[in-house]
Chains A and B, each alone.
Chain A
Amino acid sequence: MILVRLAWWLTRGAPAAAGVLILCLAVAVAGRVSVGSLGRVVELVIAGESRGILGGDLELSGASALTEVQQKAVLGVLPSGSHWANQRTCTTMATTVSGQTRAVELRAVPPEWPLVGRLVLDSAADLQVGPVCAVQPDLLRQLNCRVGDVLRLGRLDVRIAGVIVEEPGAFTTPFQLGPRVLVSAATLDATGLAGFGARIRHALLVTLADSEPAAVAALAKAVHRALGQDPEAQAPPGSFGPPQQGIAVKTAAEAQGQMVRVVERLGDWLRLASLLALILGGLGIATLVRGMLVRTAGDRAVLAILGAGPRRLAMLTVIQVTGLAFVGGLLGSALGGLIAGVIVRQSGLPPGIPVVDPVSLGLGVLLAVGAALVFAAGPLLETAGQRPLAILRGDAPVSSRRGLLGSVAVIPLLLGLAAVETRSLITGPAVIAGALVAGGLLALLFRVVLPGIGRLALFRRGPWTFALGHGLGNLGRPGLRAVPAATTLGLGAVLLGVLLVYRASVSGELAAESRGTLPTLFAIDLQDDQVEDFRRATPDDRGELAPIVRARFRGIVGREAPVPAGSAGDEAKFFRAREQNLSWRTSPGADETLLAGRWATGEGECTLESGFATRLGAGIGDKLRFDVQGVPLELTVTGLRQVRWLGFRPNFFILTDPQSLAGAPTTWIAALAPTGDRLAVQLRLTKAFPNLTILDLATIARRVQGLTDRLAWAVAGIAGLALVAGLLVLGGMVLESARRRREDAAILACLGLPRGPLALSLAVEFSVLGLVAGMAGLVLAVPGGLLVVRLLLKLPVSIPWEGILLTLPILTGLTALAGVLAAGQVLRARPLEVLRSD
């Protein structure tokens, strides 16, 4: 108990340093807790709404409707008390009377729909009566129309009868090509969009009296068998997955799993960013603990003389750090919960789910205590074994080598944590290793540059110029911790800079105005017999047509290994099970680079997009089996391609030679780069080819940009926390040197330096510190961003020079403010009191 009591007594004696350490930890932990809490809330929402996500307990879907025989077989295995409804979905164009047009996701629903939940419209409209529709609010904004207006869908004019407020089954995919339009089955038939060749997704939704996941999974197997499909076929890669008929059977739990994976992937990046914030906070912890040890060295020496042994003294520090970390963890958890709560409220997720739960709280506290002890190890080792008399004499040696070893030992822990947080042995550790290298480079740079600035011998006549020189001189003076402070701030600047580069690069790639000759319009579902007409109708629109043959992947010949467990395995399953678009091309397209092997030129050959090949587990020389609408096809992989997907040209995972697909049912996709008015071309094509879906890439790009913006803002929030952590570290470092600064200031005051110039010297010191750290960090962020964008995202890099230049004065100002605030006691102290007490 004496140690706990002593720890409390000693901590109580330096409340400012203790407060900064607690805040450092709280900020560092808050990011991780908020990410964890958000993820948990979303998972709980998804789990609670899994039936709502799918719109039923079970969904049977495919490119064609179930035949009568199939439907009878399926209904035959449904238990009593089951309900079912057919639903059809397609992407098409909606055009207003004034000629405005947008791609929409059209969903035709029967009277018995929805089976789960309820459809809420803002009016009492009945979709089953007359040619009417209900639309998502986005569409009204995009088309500048209102309820009561008429939309042309295919060849039918349909009145907007209401706006969708709540819709079961609305979240089956995280990304849809246009706002939803709900109509009755009869209305869809009347539009003529459901004719031959239309790209309609048919789904039979089923609800059961017993919706327990196990019962639903058992029924899914029974349905597979009733359809003559192997229920286990989707799992192993070589076992020739989905059935001949191509009917996918999905349970609510599987739909939930897909949503969870999307959330998890977003979480991976956010957790990585929060880990970087934790590292910055950790640097603060190391600094503050070192300061604490220096400040209380005399007290510890006295305690040693009074009979406290070395183990007890070490334990004393551990108790101090643990206690502060515990409080910091609690505070960080609360802060993280608060952030998550605000985001939950802003994003419209259902309220009522506790954002801070015991698990998040425990995680926050554990993380704080773990991080504090790990980062305190270096300073503790530095001062371990100091003899009390030497401390009292002021000549106790500090073992930098032991401290460095203690700090280096942290690195494997951080790399391991990064791998766990991102669930990747490469991405997370690579980013953290990059951050550590950047930190090392910055520290080396500042070690040379800051003393150099300190030696800038300005003429020192009068108090103001003296103060200026004194402020600059402090940057090079030992004991004022300028190098670690600048390194921490520089790392914060690197993080911000990389984020700016990332955002600019994605925006630049998506911006419609900068697309130049890249396609801005896509026309899909073009039939074989429409190709020539289409070419004639678009002579000046720089059209590029590509054929599509839909097929099911059946496996790799001779490869029967099971899919690995976990999310990577789930992803692999998804990529295998989805309907594949096969195409052919005689040479690489503008967005393609052949990475390995050769182009597929002979019959029975194909090339694969490299990422797709990895997920499939296929390589050059492998034989892939496909089912092209009942006809088996075998293709040998001859090459791997890299594709620049954000080029938005027609690109494909699988490209083969024209002979291999001869005679297969083919539709075409056209990419256009019109030189004139995009909307006019869109309208002209919609009128001439009512069955076509025209997608405006500018709209899609805006949606993608919206998604990336949201991600960027989330990461920016975490980066903001990192910056706050950096500023707190600066505050901690200033506090660490406060005694010396007070003494210096008192002596200078006695020598005749007024308070004004003294304040100037502090402002100059911290402004220059912020400027140098910001400049170095932002400059280093450019190659850092280049690496992240090029290697991880595989995009061309755009450097946002304006944003970077704007960040610099902000960072400088914030640093000056934080530094002067932290050093405020230097200005407030009365010189005589300081000199007497010290």
Chain B
Amino acid sequence: MNPVLSAQGLVRRFVTPERTLTILDGLDLAVQPGEVVAIVGRSGSGKSTLLGLLAGLDHPDGGKVTLDGQDLATLGEAALAELRARRLGFLFQNYRLLSALTAEENVRVPLELVGRRDARDRARHWLAQVGLGDRGGHRPAQLSGGEQQRVALARALANDPALVIADEPTGNLDAATGQTVADLLFSSIRANQAAGIYVTHDPLLARRADRVLHLEAGRLVAP
């Protein structure tokens, strides 16, 4: 079976006036369809940098990333954006909802970006799926942290993505709320037969993945 996502020999360096930091140093990764991978590592080890490269939001200094069989390096900005809209779902630690939009409007954004006519219905469906069917008209400021992350989850899953990328999805939430969001995340990914990759500091959350990888010295290693 072809992996939905693969990275080969990824290198990413940051140049500062004092020195050059090599964050990723020949990293390899393959995520199979339906597989959920957790990435753990120390702060500053490059976890978020890796997610950015995997999503085509940043360019590697070496190596290549393939998503759905397409080499991201061969795609222009517009094509990358199109790919993200259709095939990827994102979940951030601090939710990243558009503050001026209501919950329903936030979920409609990725649907409308790909031109779906049923954007409103699907947005309502996904809000109901995450237990917020009655909060669609509320703005982010009127929602709790857990509720905001559930809206973000609905937004991430709205387009039936092939891969959901999550960066510390429960990092800003208390244990109970984090548990609820994690339950929703895993059940939704699996129900949609999507793949998932997430970074976390939480060992309990990491353990729920099909596979856990440590990011150390710029490479992924099994624990």
Contacts and interface: CB of A to CB of B under 8 A. Distances in A.
Interface of A: 1-2, 5-6, 9-10, 12-14, 298-299, 302-312, 387-389, 392, 837
B68 to A, nearest CB: 14
B100 interface: yes
Contact of B113 (A2, A14, A311): A2
B77 interface: yes
B213 interface: no
B113 A307 contact: yes
A335 B25 CA distance: 64
Contacts of B115: 2
B105 interface: yes
Contacts of A6: 109, 112
Nearest to A306: B110
A334 B82 CA distance: 43
B99 interface: yes
B114 interface: yes
A574 B52 CA distance: 75
**A contacts with B: majority SS:** helix
A310 B77 contact: yes
A298 B81 contact: no
A348 to B, nearest CB: 50
B121 interface: no
B90 A309 contact: no
Contact of A13 (B52, B99, B113, B155): B99
B112 to A, nearest CB: 4
A823 B84 CA distance: 40
A389 B49 CA distance: 9
Closest 5 CB pairs of A and B: A13-B100, A307-B85, A309-B81, A2-B112, A309-B78
B57 A388 contact: yes
B101 A9 contact: yes
Given A387-B58, A389-B57, A312 B81 contact: yes
Contacts of B96: 298, 302, 305, 392
B173 to A, nearest CB: 16
A304 B85 CA distance: 9
B125 interface: no
Contacts of A389: 52, 57-58
Given A306-B90, A389-B57, A392-B96, A311 B78 contact: yes
Nearest to B86: A307
A4 to B, nearest CB: 10
Contact of A309 (B55, B82, B97, B155): B82
Contacts of B97: 302
Nearest to A385: B77
Nearest to A310: B77
Interface in B171-221: none
Interface in B124-143: 141
A307 B101 contact: no
Contacts of B105: 9
Contacts, number: 77
B98 interface: yes
A746 to B, nearest CB: 16
B58 A308 contact: no
11 contacts: A6-B109, A6-B112, A10-B101, A14-B100, A299-B99, A307-B83, A307-B110, A308-B81, A310-B81, A387-B57, A388-B57
A2 B120 CA distance: 12
B54 to A, nearest CB: 12
**B contacts with A: majority SS:** helix
Nearest to A305: B90
B81 A307 contact: yes
Contacts of A307: 81-86, 88, 110, 113-114
Contacts of A310: 77-78, 81
A306 B52 contact: no
Nearest to B79: A309
Interface string B57-93: 1100000000000000000011011111110101000
Contacts of B78: 309-311
Contacts of B58: 387, 389
Contact of A305 (B55, B77, B99, B100): B55
Contacts of B109: 2, 6, 303, 306
Contacts of A392: 96
- Which one of B52, B97, B141 has the greatest number of beta carbons of chain A within 10 Å? B52
Nearest to B165: A305
B57 A305 contact: yes
Given A305-B55, A306-B84, A307-B86, A299 B112 contact: no
Contact of B100 (A12, A306, A311): A12
Nearest to B98: A299
- Which one of B77, B88, B105, B155 has the greatest number of beta carbons of chain A within 10 Å? B77
Contacts of A308: 81, 85, 113
Contacts of B98: 9-10, 13, 299, 302-303
A311 B81 CA distance: 10
A388 to B, nearest CB: 6
A310 B82 CA distance: 11
A2 B111 CA distance: 9
Given A2-B115, A303-B109, A388-B57, A309 B100 contact: no
B200 to A, nearest CB: 18
A317 to B, nearest CB: 15
B81 A304 contact: yes
Nearest to A307: B85
A11 to B, nearest CB: 8
Contacts of A306: 84-85, 90, 109-110, 113, 155
Given A6-B112, A302-B97, 20 more contacts: A6-B109, A9-B98, A9-B101, A10-B100, A14-B100, A299-B98, A299-B99, A303-B98, A304-B57, A304-B81, A306-B85, A307-B82, A307-B83, A308-B113, A309-B81, A310-B81, A387-B58, A388-B57, A389-B58, A837-B141
Given A10-B98, A298-B96, A387-B57, A305 B84 contact: yes
A591 B24 CA distance: 84
A485 B122 CA distance: 46
Contacts of A2: 109, 112-113, 115
- Which one of B55, B85, B114 has the greatest number of beta carbons of chain A within 10 Å? B85
B98 to A, nearest CB: 5
A738 to B, nearest CB: 14
A9 B104 CA distance: 12
Contacts of B84: 305-307
A253 B155 CA distance: 70
A489 B114 CA distance: 46
Nearest to A300: B98
Contacts of B52: 389
Nearest to B159: A307
Contacts of A309: 77-78, 80-82
Nearest to B105: A9
B99 to A, nearest CB: 6
A359 to B, nearest CB: 37
A800 to B, nearest CB: 49
A5 B102 CA distance: 13
A308 B114 CA distance: 9
Contacts of A12: 100
B101 A13 contact: yes
Contacts of B155: 306
B171 to A, nearest CB: 15
Contacts of B112: 1-2, 5-6
Contacts of A303: 98, 109, 113
Nearest to A313: B81
A732 B114 CA distance: 35
Nearest to A1: B112
Nearest to B116: A2
Nearest to B95: A302
Given A306-B109, A307-B114, A308-B81, A9 B100 contact: yes
A303 B115 CA distance: 15
A399 to B, nearest CB: 17
A6 B111 CA distance: 12
A314 to B, nearest CB: 11
